[in-house]
Amino acid sequence: MSVTGGAGPPPGGILDLLVVGAGPTGLAIGAEAMRAGLSVLLVERGGLCESIRGYPTEMVFFTTRERLEIAGIPFAIPEAKPVRRQALAYYREVARTWRIPLALHEAVEGVERLAEGFRILGRRRGRQHERYARAVALATGYFGRPLRLEVPGEELPWVHQRFCEPYGHFADRVVVIGGGNSAAEAALELHRWGAEVTLVHRGPELKPGVKYWLKPDIENRIAEGSIRALFGHRVRSFGPHGVEVEGPLGNERLAAEAAYVLIGYLPELELAEACGVTIDPRTLEPRIDPETCESDVPGLYVAGTLQAGRATDRIFIENSRDHGPRIVGHLLARRESLDGRHV
């Protein structure tokens, strides 16, 4: 276990707050808890800001730097829109400045509601860790559950659910499936690195939410024939000879050395569901109090994009930065209320 910074409880003690996830939302909660003098620990199955680390290497954030700031730490760069590397450095400094206690590379396997608080089971390098906390905040986001097509051959080694960089695909034939930001960025980067790119999307055109500086770029590349686009097409299977697609005029086989399925993500709600949080079966939104972020399980909070259910494009860093103050403020108010009863 790697716990850094801060003064957590002694072995066997109980934390005021355990946060599952060490991305921007988790860090914002952790910093607010440290500011309030609460004992807190962030548990993350990967490294710090693992989700951002998995973004495309050259990705530029849609949001401007000041709207990505958390915990009162300025995002001091000259560019208006940060790139992935700058964001990783910034959030590392937030963790370092606030000395937020971290348990990295530890997967949370279970959260159990007790009479007073929670029992949290984690595992790191085969060793299980048992922790106790008065409250738990889930800030796991959605990046760990990419949507799948559920078609034959999707498990083949040349079929990928994430795109990081184009550098291994010079002169390759690459099929990109999707019509949103991820697909558009991947298609453009692959094309400019010298790949022969075919974009496959079931819709009649690119999604309207594609970044405003990407949309005309990729539309122009499609119009000039540099990138082939098959709109209104679905993937039927992946096989030894490439990708089988179905469109208005029938089936077509696309020869390919690689394929990227970039069709979105689902929220990671398993822990919330296992704890008894009510999940809307249609939207996958957990039932929470929007003022406090507390779920319908007392003491269990849901923060960040996880609140949005299927609509993963509705909540971002910029409009969830106040989840930390809401959660910690509610915890402090509850503590004062309990202390008053005991006077």
Per-residue pLDDT of the chain (343 residues), as tens digits, is: 344 433 444 445 899 999 999 999 999 999 999 999 999 999 999 999 999 998 888 888 988 999 999 999 999 999 999 999 999 999 999 999 999 999 999 999 999 999 889 999 999 999 999 999 999 999 998 777 889 999 999 999 999 999 999 999 999 999 999 999 999 999 999 999 999 999 999 999 999 989 888 999 999 999 999 999 999 999 999 999 899 999 999 999 999 999 999 998 888 899 999 989 999 999 999 999 999 999 999 999 999 999 999 887 788 788 888 999 999 999 999 888 766 554 4
C-alpha torsion angle, residues 308, 145, 205, 150 (rounded to 10): -130
Which residues, other chains included, contact 54 with Cβ-Cβ below 8 Å and sequence gap of 6+? 143, 162, 164
Single pTM value for the model: 0.87
CA atoms of 120 and 318, how far apart (whole Å): 29
| Secondary structure (3-state) at 148 | coil
Cα–Cα dist 336/340, whole Å: 6
Residue whose tokens read 């299977």: 237
Query: What angle is formed at CA 7 by the lines to CA 322 and CA 99, rounded to 5 degrees?
Result: 50
Q: What is the DSSP letter of 279?
A: B
Pairs from 114-117 (Cβ < 8 Å, separation ≥ 24): 117/14, 117/299
> Residue 7's pLDDT is what?
41
